[in-house]
Amino acid sequence: MSKYITLKDKTFAPYIPERRIIEAITKMAGRIVHDMEGRDPLFVGILNGAYMFVAELMSKLPPTCELTFAAYSSYHGTKSDRIVKELLPVRIENRNRPVILLEDVVDTGFTMQYVMNRLREEGVNDVRLAAMFFKPGALQCNIKPDYVGMEIENDFIIGFGLDYDGYGRSLRSIYKIVE
């Protein structure tokens, strides 16, 4: 893992190495395979931040798993404005199958609460949430991921798909902001 990284006007320090991320995703995949045995879940990757998590997780699941993508936004810079914008909604043909949302990080929870409630309103009765990172100290609503790769502190992080104003997504490890 390299040293400090500066993106735009912020500096980030090494935080979680890639190998720990891969180990966490492998364990999560095992739990999902166990829970979904005999079922046909639809996996929904939440863009843009979850793309690396989704790719790694899907490579550890059976090839019969179906994947689609959706996009929502509530962040500007390092803060959520609590207004969820639906950029690419979830499209579901069969509402009788489980839907597992794949999210990069759950912090305030507002975006995933919005998406999960929306799917339930549309008639999906089994909606689950898999988050690579979960910040319980930042949670401001009544949701909890069903599958968590790692619980972390409430630091702003980049890497492994997560960004700061579009930068830093391609880093294979996680870095946290230096205030």
| pLDDT, one tens digit for every residue, the chain (179 residues) | 559 999 999 999 999 999 999 999 999 999 999 999 999 999 999 999 999 999 999 999 999 999 999 998 775 555 666 677 888 988 888 789 999 999 999 999 999 999 999 999 999 999 999 999 999 999 999 999 999 999 999 999 999 999 999 999 999 999 999 98
Quote the pLDDT of residue 86: 84
CA 117 – CA 134 distance, rounded (Å): 19
Amino acid in the structure at residue 6 = T
CA 176 – CA 168 distance, rounded (Å): 11
CA 108 – CA 80 distance, rounded (Å): 8
The catalytic site residues sit at 107
Residue 174 CB-density burial (10 A; 0-12 exposed, 13-18 middle, 19+ buried): buried
Residue 175 CB-density burial (10 A; 0-12 exposed, 13-18 middle, 19+ buried): buried
CA 21 – CA 24 distance, rounded (Å): 5
Residue 146, CB half-sphere, CA atoms under 13 Å: how many?
A: 18
Quote the pLDDT of residue 95: 82
